[in-house]
Amino acid sequence: MMCSWLLLTVLKVPRKSATLGILLLLWAYALLTGLSPSVVRASGMFSLAAAGKLWNRQTSSYNLMSAAAFLQIWFDSRLPAQPGFLLSYAAVLGILFMHPRLFSLCYTRHKWLDKAWELTSLSLSAQWFTLPLVLYFFHSFPIYFLPANLLVVPLSGPALIGSLLLCALNFIPPLAQLFAYPLSWLLMGINQLTLWVSALPFAQSTGWYWTLGDGLLAAVFMLLVVLGWLIYHPLARKGAVAVLVIWYCLNLTNRLTQFVGGDFRIYEGYGRSPAALRLGTTAWVWSDSIDAFPNPAEHMQQEGVRHLHRIQQTGVLRVRWRNNTALWVAYPSTNVNRLPDADVLILSRKIRGQVWDGSIHRYPVWVLGSGYNLYFCHQTRLRTGRGRHNCRCVAEEGAINLWNINLLKPKPKPELAASY
């Protein structure tokens, strides 16, 4: 708005030329910030809206958001798998759909109270629609998001304007230096304020390990809540209660199954492979690194484990479950030829020299940990003639549960009973 006022009112630039100049500045700023999905989304929606105004066309915010999403996915089909892309569009959808209805629930004549309620309803709308994604991807929820937004968002506008002015005045060093000092202090104040809020007691609720089904049911439930209690749709209220009951029953069934069953999981650990074996309410967790992420111990505790045992790091660990045996190998210097026989061989670290030389072909199933990338897993299958069922890859599957693995063991031959 400041740029349009400057070009149209002060400099008397024609409308089309001013719009073109604003779009060039906008995309230059997007390039400067790294073209993140949220920045590209905002720039794309503004560009489409500006183009519609040039041709005197009525524009819908939902159509602009859909068109921007379509163009982004067209250029990069991997974007829907990125949390930033999903969070950006979920927040915009919440602001467009929920914010006007939530803001209209409360009216005040006081100017500053009205502004505070507008910012509060805006934050609540964005947070409500992004909550399933936040819990699914990050397993935590910020408790003090509302006061943090009330403090940080008003300061982000001057910081953005100051950044643009600093870029524009870069060719005039005295003026650029004059803007740089207050801008740096403002940015430092925003960072310190954010750190202070995050350091408060009970600042985050952690341990929310949701499956994809949990996330989808939560998203449907939250949408039905908005339809039922803000738009007063009776069927939406009944649907929200039904989804909540189904969600509770599914979680109760999973809990009961976990108490009587077990799990043997290999996690994706950014180059390491933390693992956990659970039998009922007792679990054993281990990893080849102390700072392994994700932490399987925290995951097991969220699944109702009461007795947790941490196993010290070791070069080779032998695991037995359901009449099956697995060898978990952590150190690259381990000589695979000297290892005992087992049903499953789990290679946590990169033991590249011994994977293709035929020394581990005697193991029916291989599990390549997160130290092996997708290309190496594909090349291993090509060179050894193994398929996905007997050459599993953690980097490909994200996490592997070996509890119900089918090893296709030969059945024992029947023996005749001794006759007397």
pLDDT, one tens digit per residue, over 138-168 is: 878 888 888 888 888 888 888 877 877 777 7
Distance CA(10)–CA(269), nearest Å, equals 57
**What is the structure's pLDDT at 357?**
60
What's the burial of 92, exposed, middle or buried (CB within 10 Å: 0-12/13-18/19+)? buried
Of residues 71 and 358, the one with the higher pLDDT is 71
3 state DSSP class of 59: coil
- Residue 279, SS3? strand
Overall average pLDDT of the 308-333 stretch: 78
Least confident of 20-34, 60-74, 115-129, 253-267: 253-267
Range of 86-90, 263-267, 340-344 with top mean pLDDT:
86-90
Residue 10: predicted pLDDT: 44
Residue 338, both tokens: 């000297």
What pLDDT is recorded for position 201? 87
Predicted local confidence at residue 260, as pLDDT:
61
- Please determine, for residue 347, whether its predicted confidence score (pLDDT) is greater than 50: yes
413: helix, coil or strand?
coil
Lowest mean pLDDT among 10-24, 105-119, 157-171, 231-245: 10-24
Most confident of 23-37, 231-245, 301-315: 231-245
Between CA 166 and CA 175 the distance in angstroms is 8
- Write out pLDDT tens, residues 44-66: 888 888 888 878 788 888 888 99
* Helices within 261-412 (DSSP H only): 296-302, 374-384, 394-397
Cα angle 304, 306, 310; round to 5: 110
Residue from 78, 82, 98, 89 nearest 45 by CA: 89
Please report the pLDDT score of residue 416 as a whole number.
36
Length of the chain: 420
The mean pLDDT of 339-362, rounded to a whole number, is 71
Portion of the chain with pLDDT greater than 90, in percent: 5
Read off the tokens for 95: 């602001």
Q: What's the whole-number mean pLDDT along residues 163-187?
A: 80
* pLDDT in the model for residue 14: 62
Mean residue pLDDT of the chain comes to 78
Look at residues 28, 58, 57, 21 and name the one whose alpha carbon lies nearest to residue 43: 28
How far apart (Å, rounded) are the C-alpha atoms in residues 46 and 2? 15
Neighbouring C-alpha atoms within 13 Å toward the C-beta of 74: 6
Angle at 253 between CA 264 and CA 406, to 5 degrees: 35
HSE toward the beta carbon, residue 113, CA cutoff 13 A: 5
Gap between the Cα atoms of 120 and 150, Å rounded: 7
DSSP label at residue 8: I
User: What is the reported pLDDT for 349?
Assistant: 65
Complete DSSP assignment for 237-276? HHHHHHHHHHHHHHHHHHHHHHHHSEEEEEE-BTTB--EE
pLDDT at 89 (0 to 100): 92
* Per-residue model confidence as pLDDT tens digits over 358-413: 667 778 888 888 777 788 888 888 877 788 778 888 878 877 888 777 655 444 44
One DSSP character per residue, 196-244 reads HHHTSTT-EEE-----HHHHHHHHHHHHHHHHHHTS--HHHHHHHHHHH
Nearest one of 152, 91, 154 to 124, comparing CA atoms: 91
pLDDT of the residue at 129: 92
CB 98 within 8 A of CB 226: yes
